A and B are shown apart, each in its own frame.
Chain A
Amino acid sequence: AQSVTQLDSQVPVFEEAPVELRCNYSSSVSVYLFWYVQYPNQGLQLLLKYLSGSTLVKGINGFEAEFNKSQTSFHLRKPSVHISDTAEYFCAVSDVGGSNYKLTFGKGTLLTVNP
């Protein structure tokens, strides 16, 4: 069975500061990895995905994430955040092949960007 651990439930930062949101996963097989963002009263929006290839993945809104297989991590980073980045961020994993439709989500990290 898969599991996803988002190590920080809340991350407060100041505007223009860098940020890293941490995600670790466990799975007995190869995985696809995703980061989603949820703004208040909205659904989840895909930020970026790792399916294969380069371990550094760039997404929308200036975010990027690096897949580290040995550490089973997929941390999300942004070099300079804006007030508008305030939202909840979810890491998710699915198995490659088999029941790869099924996304397992972490509990989420609330990013609050302060002026």
Chain B
Amino acid sequence: DAGVIQSPRHEVTEMGQEVTLRCKPISGHNSLFWYRQTMMRGLELLIYFNNNVPIDDSGMPEDRFSAKMPNASFSTLKIQPSEPRDSAVYFCASSPHLGQPQHFGDGTRLSIL
């Protein structure tokens, strides 16, 4: 069984550039989550989708962040323009239904110079 697949695994870019992170959830999972992990703040939920619809984006830090889920098998998290303080590991997770345990991808390590 393929797990949650994230790309790229690593991204290094200069501040001001647009960054797009990608996620393919586990087939059949209805819920998709984007998290950010930093040393200072730990794991933070950014946004959550259910059946491709954004349900709660209250964790998205600023308007520079946006997320889409055009279909059940693909989601993107975009940062434009990027800033050094956006440097973190970004995780995507999916779960079969509400309340079911979430399965995490291996993350994208983002460095903004």
* Chain A residues near B (Cβ < 8 Å): 32, 34, 36, 41-46, 49, 51, 90, 94, 96, 99-103, 105-108
Contacts and interface: CB of A to CB of B under 8 A. Distances in A.
A42 B89 CA distance: 10
B106 A46 contact: no
Given A43-B4, A43-B91, A44-B91, A101 B105 contact: no
B23 to A, nearest CB: 11
Nearest to B4: A43
Given A44-B104, A51-B99, 10 more contacts: A34-B101, A44-B93, A46-B101, A94-B99, A100-B98, A101-B48, A101-B50, A102-B45, A103-B102, A105-B42
B107 interface: yes
Contact of A43 (B55, B99, B105): B105
A43 B106 contact: yes
Interface residues of B, number: 23
Contact of B104 (A41, A45, A100): A45
B42 A43 contact: no
Nearest to B107: A43
Identify whether the interface residues of A are mostly helix, strand, loop, or mixed: loop
B101 A101 contact: no
Nearest to B106: A43
B102 to A, nearest CB: 7
7 contacts: A42-B106, A43-B4, A43-B106, A46-B102, A49-B101, A101-B33, A101-B55
A43 B104 contact: yes
Contacts of A42: 106-107
A49 B101 CA distance: 8
B18 interface: no
B103 interface: yes
Contacts of B57: none
Contacts of B12: none
Contacts of B31: 101
A33 to B, nearest CB: 11
